[in-house]
Amino acid sequence: MIERARQYATKAHGDQMYGENPYTYHLGKVVEVLERFKVTDPDILAAGWLHDILEDTPTTVEDLWDEFGFSVSALVDAVTDGEGGSRKERKARPYALIPRIPGAIFLKLADRIANLEASLDEGHDRLRKMYTKEHPGFREALYDGETALKMWEHLDRIFDPVGVR
C-alpha cells in the first residue's frame, strides 16, 4: 500500500515543484521523518505520501477512500487545510480534526519537521519565521502530553536549540 500511495501521489502531483525539487521530494522527506521516529503503521506511512494531495491536486477525499480505504483517507483529510481567507482560518479545520483521528498528529508533525528541516538546510528563512510565530498556537492545539513526544521534543529543539523555553 505504501508503494501504491507513492505512485499515486507522484502521478497526482505531476510537475508540481517543492522549491527546486519535484514535489515528491517533500513527500519522501515526510515519510523519512515518520520512519526516523519509528512510525511503522502502513496507513500513516501511506498518508505521508498523500498528505498534500487534497490541497494541491484535483483528488478528492472520496477518491482516496476508494483507492486506500477509510483510515488513509481520514488521515489525509484531517491534515488538510479548510476554507478561509487567512492562514489562521484555514488551519482551524485541521487543528480541530487532528486530535480526533488516530495517527494524524504523527503525520502533521512529520510534515512540519520536514518543512522546517528543508527550510534550514536550504537557508530559506520565510517558512521558519512563519512556523516560529505559529508554534505556540500549533502546540496549544495539538500537544496532548503523551502522543509523539520524541517528535515534539525534536520540533521544540528546532525552535529553541539552546533550551531557553
The Cα–Cα gap between 141 and 23 comes to 28
Query: Which residues are 17's β-sheet partners?
Result: 22
Cβ-in-10-Å burial (0-12, 13-18, 19+) of 126 comes to exposed
Residue indicated by cell numbers 500511495? 5
Catalytic annotation on 3?
A: no
Secondary structure of 50-111 in the HEC alphabet?
HCCHHHHCCCCHHHHHHHHCHHHHHHHHHCCCCCCCCHHHHHHHHHHHHHHCCCHHHHHHHH
Whole-angstrom CA distances from 98 to 7, 8, 10, 21, 146 are 25, 23, 25, 28, 15
Catalytic annotation on 56?
A: yes
Task: Choose, from 32, 56, 81, 117, the residue flagged as catalytic.
Answer: 56
Amino acid at 102: P
Task: Choose, from 15, 43, 52, 55, the residue flagged as catalytic.
Answer: 55
Which residues are known to be catalytic? 55-56
